[in-house]
Structure formats: structure tokens, C-alpha cells
Structure 1
């Protein structure tokens, strides 16, 4: 079981690990900070200070008094947020969200009770995951509706997943050995008034796109080697004059992969752009992903809530740290990047199955054209996948609509952007697997053996796990298996370096 220390920075790897039970620890120093913050909040609440959500209504109703009993105020916070619609989110995404929320609350700036963080940690130590409907958040004032559903499940209301089964939340809690979470008004608001779902979804989407981006580099090198292309498109002097850091990084990695690649001398002087311009395209993606890296790291290391407490200054400050605009821009950029990387891999597969451009290999890489159809179905599916990705690449962050009686008169829609990017990252992975399967089949249909050691190793891994398409068979499982192999080969390369 992975240990996640809430004193340490939070990383994407922690969110990935949260798919399964993890040990979330809170140091005595961190607990003391939480207790101090909570004591300050209780003191300030007794001084008749206006504190949003503690003494007031919510959103556009802030001008009205809230409920006097703080346990009732928790109900006041959460009941009206039970408005989510659509299918449940993947429990892995919801569990990553709980971890992000626990880390933010553990900073001690929210005034949340220590037992709230303890409850999140305890839930993450089991397979418990709140059932959270996908639709309802605009990514402003936090992911209110989805986090409200999560908070209610932790109280034993609504539904939750345990060991992958959807159950009444109270049943899931009891079976997992967890107690229903007791909340007051501040605790309830602190649980929902942050963009933790947006941040979690962005981080998980970024990880997926990063993996496929590295896979695209390796597969481009294998494609060029199988076809016998001249690797001068990776020339260090050429790329240096391009003067873009991402292209320099990508081309260096591709040159390492292509070390030992010997051209056949039978290809045209200049390859199609899907090969010749790959380092420039993937390099631009690298630069864009570096921006998303920075925004994701900032979100994972930030406090998303309102208001925030500063006991050392005797101040409770109201503002907009729940506004997910950075993540919205980053997720939209991620969607654009994955659309172009996916387009590259789809075009490379199209080149590979075309006998007019693939160096004389059979059409559709069919072992017996006409009697067999090789990659024809996979290529059709790839066209559908890239069309789906491109259709969904319209930026969500430009769709701002006023809501909440114009209290929320601008909204970032970061939740939609991040969840959309996460969906499309899964499709990009399938495009990666489709191209990898095509390369494996090209080797069966007469392509030359790779001349670079790394290319040869990747092809041999594909050949060892996947039988040639001869005769035809359903290939949906093979596409997913090929994607796994490319990903594992990349991890092995990283570990070796």
C-alpha cells in the first residue's frame, strides 16, 4: 500500500495510486496546525464576524442569515447541491479527488476540523468511493455539486462504491468499517468549496497524454525504421536551428531510440510530413505539456477554498481561490495537444496501410488481400476515434455563462474541460495501440526488420504478445494489448535511463 504524507508535496503518482487503497498520514505538526486553525475559526465565529457559509446563506443568498445550529447549517450547505445528473464518474477519479481535497484542507487555511481530514484518509485506506454524477459543476465556487455528493456519501447518504459494487452509502461505510462523517457548516463548506475534482481529472488526463506522447515518439521511430526512411529529419543541427526547446528534447529522445537506424536508400528524398515533421509536431506538444505540467503542479500545491483563515494576522479573507480558470485553460490546451498527437498517429497508420506510400506492403496490411482484410477495421475505427477527439477539442473555457443570480457572472468550466481531456486521453491511447498493432502487422507482411536496437526491442515485444493477423480475427483486444506494450516499453526505457 502506497503511503501519502500530507506534509509532503502531492504528485500525480499519488493520485494514480489512489485508485487502490493508500495509507494517508498526517503528522503531529500538521494536526496541530489544523487544530489551531479550527480554534481560531471557532473564536472568530463567536465574535459576530460575518463569515461566509458559517453565518450566512450560500452563493447569491449570502445576504440572508444561515441556520443557527451548525449541524443544521451542514445540511443547509449540502442538501441543495444534490442536483447532479448523468452517469457516475469513474471511482478512481473520485478517489483521486478525495486525496486532492484532503491535501488542500490539511494546509490549515480552511478552518476544517481535523476529523474531516481523518475521515478522508480513512476512506482512502479502503476501496470506498462516493458515487458522483458527472454533470453539475461549472468549476466556480469549487466543484460544488460533485463534491457535495462526495460529502453526502461520507455522511452515509446517497450511494458509494465498495470493491467496485454500487451500494447505499451507509451500507458501504459500514462494510468498509468506516463511520459516517459528522459535519458542521464550516466543515461542509470546506469539503465542497474547492476545485478538487477539476484538479484530479486534469492531473490524470495529463498523465495519460504524457504516456501516449512518449508512445508516439517511439512508434514514429519504429515506423521510419520499418519503412527504411532516412533519419536525417532528426538531425541535431537541423533541430537546433528550429530553436524550440520541446523539439530539441523530443528529437534527442528520438535520436536515442533510433540509434543504429540505417536507411534503405529506396525511400523518397523527403518523407511525408507525418514522418518528416514529427519532431516539430511532437516537440510543440512537449512545450505545451510543460505548461500543463506547471499548472497541474500549482493546482496540486494550492489551497482551493473560500474563505481562507490567517490566524497569525487575525484575518478571515473572502475571495475567489475556488475559481478553476488555470485548470480550465490547461485542460483545453491538453485537448488541443492530444487532438494533434492523435491526428499524427492516425495519419501514420493511414500511410502504413496504403500500398502507394508504404514501400509496397499489401493494402490494409492484409496477408491475403481480398480473402483477408488485415487492418481495415482498425483503420476505420481509428478514423472514428480521431473524429471524436477533434469534435470535442472546442475549448470549454470560452463557454462562460452567468448563473446563480449573476453572483457567478463569469465561470471557467474547468471541470468540463478536465473531464473531457480525461475522456479523450483514453481514446488517444487506443490510437497509440492501433498504430502499434499496424507496425506489428507490417513486419508480418514483409517490412524489413528494424536496424535500431530500441526499435527492434519494441517490435519483438509486440510480436511476442500479439499473433499476426493471418487469418482475420477481431482486433479490439489486440489494440488495447498493443497500447499496454508500448506503455510498458516506455516505462522500461525510463527505468533503464
Structure 2
């Protein structure tokens, strides 16, 4: 059971809730804070004070006063009108993370929602009710308005949720079957639900979880490639990396030494050649630089997942209510763009290692690792496929955050495009995982030619386990199946079925 406080949620806990379906509950202190901020909203409405989003319209309509009798209609209209999402829905794991992060923000006690709203949201999460949330339509400032509106629709019994087969089914039908009553939104609540960065942050957290796994996988796959090419391990000696001083580079080199420590396939400087190509020799430097970026991204995400990002925020028991801009997604937008570049580099260098494994001019292995060169093509086109994905990543890695376009009649005149950046990062991650799968398939074949009895202990264990997924290449076959099977095996987000 994960206890939510609004301030202590971690990426590991998000994984446990969103991938492993661990239950959640809201701390008593947080519920008390929620009630206190709600009391402040009730006083504002009763006193007919002019406060943005509570007794006024939204965006360019912020100067328009809303009568007390129209407050409920105002909030309902807000959700319906802002539910303009388009395209394919976010994966269920992202939808679930979005719900969790929105709940965690609301229970900080500065948003002015009722206890029944946050309790219902927690109930939906525990019941594995996952909104269908289209991926396209957010500018990443004023919050992820369109995606979060589709999330909010489910709370009011509208919109669609995923069924057990991943198909969209009407929310009302599902809530009725679970005996969960829809919420009738009160003052401030609609705005509190959709004003935030939870779409880009949810996607960002899931991206980070996948990217971290990719970073570790790239090391043992590279280690196996080193063995397949009889690479020089002197390049991992600690003194080299300590002389430069980057902790991440030092750590990669240490892990590579550990992975290869008892290998009989690697060589030393001058034994067979003086130097290896950069894709082997510079693994710590290149991978280490990407790890630096991952560390930056993790730091920003860990702040944002516990942040209050709606507007206005309520402080000092309601005496101070301020309309600010915490909904602006720039910190996450920049982090996602950085993540795109960092993860893409794992594929860039991996594809170059694949080329060295299959190119007979660069090694002494059978050409293209073919069991019958000429008659059978072997891994020739796998390298083509990896090159295509690497090239596609170059387009996707273009930073989304350098763009902005004004909205709401120029009231909202600078936006982050952070959700676009997060979505593109996810696309890159899927491509990179497949590029690594291709390198791994080629490395498995190369070390088999060399002799698997000479493998390091770690890589031998990997070889044995992976051969049940990717059989040895005895003759040409449809390698697309092998690539997809291995990429799936490398994915840390394979979600179990609902209980």
C-alpha cells in the first residue's frame, strides 16, 4: 500500500502503482489539508469575492464575473469544452500515472477541491478504471488542459475508459457496474482537475523508467558485443575515467569491467590490435554522458511529481489566494527534449557496433553473421533496419520546447510544448529499444561463433536466457519476429492483467 501525502511520491512508487498495480490511500493529514483549502473556497463563494477560476471565467474570460447559481455549470462547461484531445490514446500505464499524479497534487491542500473528489479519484485508481485520454491537443501551458479534461470526464461519469481488452467503453457503464457515483463538480474543482502538467509529467516518468532500463541494457549488450569482436578492455580501467572526473562515466566503466571481468573473449591493448573503434573504446564516455542527462531528467521529475501546478493556489487558510503560472510546463519540456537526445545516442552508438559485428571488412566473423554467406543474407538487413530507426530518431529529437504559439486571444502567449516533447521521447525510446535488440541478436550470434564457453559469467547467463527468445541463426528467417520478441523482453512496462 502506497500512502499519498502530496509531497513524498517517488518514481519507484509510481512504478509500483502504475505497472504493478499496488493499492494507494490518502494520508489523514492530507485529507485534513484538502478540507481546509475547500473551506476557503466555500467562504469565497459565500462572500461573492472576485477570484480567478472560482467566481470568474477562464483564460481571456478571467474578467467576467460568474453568478453563484452558475458555478456548477461553469465547472461542467469547462471540462466538456476543454476535452478536445485527438489521436491515439495514451497507453494505459500513462493514463494511470496521470491519475496518480493529479491526485497527488490535489491532496497538497492548496487547490480547493472537496475530499469526496480526491477520494473518488483514489477509488478509481484502486479499481483500475483508466480513462481513454487522446495524446494530441496539449500546448503544455495553462496545464495539459485537453488531456486532463478527458481524465476529468471520467470523474463526472462521462467520456470513455479502457475495458479489459483495451477497448474504449462508456464511463457511465463502468462506474455503474462498480457502484461508484459520479462527481458533481463544485466551485474551483473543474479548473483544479485540468490546470496542471500531469500529462507531460506522467509520460515523462514512464519515459524515464524505460530510458533507465535502456541505459543499463545497453551496457551488457555492449559487453557482449565487445566479446563478439574481441574488444580491448584496457579502455575501462578506472584511472582513465578518474582522470576526466565525470561520475557517470566512471560508473559505466566500472560496470563494464564487472560485466567482462572473467571473459576469455576480450583482449588487451596490443594483443590483437592497439585500438578499437570509438563505438567500443568510448562506451563509458558516450553512455556516461547520456547518464548525466538521465540524472538531470530524474531530478526534475522528482520535483514535478510532488508539485502544485494548478491555478489559483490557496494559502494562509484562504486569506491569500494568488493566480500564478505553476501550470507552465517549461521545466519538464526542457527535460524531455534533453531525454530525447540522450536516449537517441544509445541507439546511435549501438547501430555502429552492429555495423562492426556484421561488416566482414571490419571483423573476422562470417560476413553478416550468415550461416551460409551468399546463399543466406544473415543479419545484413537487420543493420539496415537499425540505421532506419536511428535516422528517424534524428527527426524526433528536434526540441519541441523551442517552439511556442499564442493561445486564448494572446492571454496565454508563451507555451512549453512539453507534452509533445514527452510524446516524441516515448517514440524515440521504442525505436532505441529495437536498435538495441538488433545489436543484441547480432552479438548473440557473434559470440556463438567465438565459443560461448569463453563468455564472461554475466554474459553467459544472458546468452543462455536469451536463446529461448531468439534462437541461433541456422538459416534465414523473418527476423522482424526476433526483433520484436526481444524488444518486448527488454521492456520494463509489461503490465499484468487485471485481477
Indicate the TM-score class for this superposition, using the shorter chain for normalisation. Answer: over 0.9
> 1:176 and 1:373, CA in 2 relative to 1: closer, same or farther beyond 3 A?
farther
Identify which of 320, 328, 332 aligns with 2:337: 332
Aligned match of 1:194: 196
Aligned residues: 485
Q: Which moved more, 1:452-461 or 1:108-117?
A: 452-461
Distance 1:248 1:19, change over 3 A: closer
* Residue 99 of structure 1: aligned partner: 100
Provide the rounded CA distance (Å) in 1 between the counterparts of 2:187 and 2:243. 59
Q: Is 1:37–1:311's contact at 8 Å kept on the other side of the alignment? A: no
* Aligned 8 A contact 1:78 1:152 in 2: yes
Tell me, yes or no, if the aligned pair for 1:259 and 1:452 is still in contact at 8 Å.
yes
Is structure 2 residue 16 aligned with structure 1 residue 11?
Answer: no
Cα deviation, residue 172, structure 1: 2.5
Bigger shift: residues 327-336 or 108-117 = 108-117
Aligned partner of 2:61 in structure 1 is: 61
1:220 aligns with 2:225: no
Note the C-alpha offset of 1:71. Answer: 1.3
Q: Which moved more, 1:263-272 or 1:381-390?
A: 263-272
Partner of 2:496 in structure 1?
none
Cα distance between partner residues in 2 of 1:185 and 1:81: 17
C-alpha distance 185-387 of structure 1, shift in aligned 2 (>3 A) = farther
> In the alignment, which residue of structure 2 is the partner of 1:425?
429
Give unmatched runs, 5+ long, in structure 1. 489-497
CA RMSD of aligned residues (A): 1.9
Deviations 1:269-288 (A, max 9, x none): 11110000111001111111
Residues of 2 paired with 1:106 and 1:86: CA distance? 31
Task: State the partner residue of 1:70.
Answer: 71
Partner in structure 1 of residue 154 of structure 2: 153
Deviations 1:22-78 (A, max 9, x none): 422012222112111111221133233221111111111111123532211212321
- Give me the whole-angstrom Cα distance separating, in 2, the residues matched to 1:103 and 1:440: 44
For 1:428 and 1:242, the matched residues in 2 are separated by: 28
SS at structure 2 position matched to 1:129: coil
Partners of 2:368 and 2:122 in 1: CA distance: 52
Whether the aligned pair in 1 keeps the contact of 2:227 and 2:447 (CA below 8 Å) is no
Q: Any idea what SS the aligned residue of 2:87 has? A: strand
Who is 2:309 aligned against?
A: 304
- Which of 370, 374, 388 matches 2:378? 374
Whether the 8 Å contact between 1:162 and 1:176 is mirrored in structure 2 is no
Cα 1:22–1:71 shift into 2, 3 Å: farther
Q: Is the 8 A contact 1:45 1:51 kept in 2?
A: no
Instruction: Please give the per-residue CA displacement for 1:389-437, whole angstroms capped at 9, x wherever unaligned.
Output: 1110000000111121111111111111112112221221111211111
Q: Secondary structure at the match of 2:47?
A: coil
Equivalences for residues 229-378 of structure 1 within 5 A: 229-262=231-264, 263-264=266-267, 267-312=272-317, 314-358=319-363, 360-378=364-382
In the alignment, what sits opposite 1:401?
405
TM-score (structure 2 length as normaliser): 0.93
The answer (yes or no) to whether the contact 1:436–1:483 under 8 Å persists in 2 is no
Whether the 8 Å contact between 1:295 and 1:327 is mirrored in structure 2 is: yes
Matches within 5 A, 1:441-456: 441-446=445-450, 449-456=453-460
- Tell me if the contact between 1:157 and 1:168 (Cα under 8 Å) persists in the aligned partners: yes
- Give the aligned partner of residue 460 of structure 1: 464
Aligned partners of 1:52 and 1:312: how far apart in 2?
17
> Would you say the 8 A contact 2:140–2:417 is kept in 1?
yes
Alignment check: 8 A CA contact 1:153 1:160 kept: yes
Structure 1 distance, partners of 2:71, 2:78, is 10
1:414 corresponds to? 418
Tell me how far apart the structure 1 counterparts of residues 383 and 235 of structure 2 sit (CA, whole Å): 26
Q: By how many angstroms is 1:464 displaced?
A: 4.1
Question: Any stretches of 5+ residues in structure 2 without a counterpart?
Answer: 493-499
User: Contact 1:137–1:415 at 8 Å: present in 2 too?
Assistant: yes
SS at match of 2:188: helix
Matched-pair contact (CA < 8 Å) for 2:148–2:194: yes
**Aligned position for 1:208:** 210
Residue of structure 2 aligned with 1:469, choices 473, 478, 481: 473
TM-score (norm 1): 0.93
Name the residue aligned to 1:493: none
| Alpha-carbon separation, structure 1, partners of 2:244 and 2:28 | 53
SS of equivalent residue, structure 1 residue 229: coil
SS of 1:185's equivalent? coil
Match of 1:165 in 2: 167
Q: Which residue of 2 aligns with 1:79?
A: 80
Query: 5 Å matches for 1:86-165?
Result: 86-163=87-164, 164-165=166-167
Which has the larger displacement, 102-111 or 23-32?
A: 23-32
Deviation at 1:448, TM superposition (A): 6.3
Mark the CA change 1:161 to 1:389 in structure 2 (over 3 Å): closer, same or farther. Answer: same
The 3-state SS of whatever aligns with 2:162 is strand
Query: 1:439 aligns to what?
Result: 443
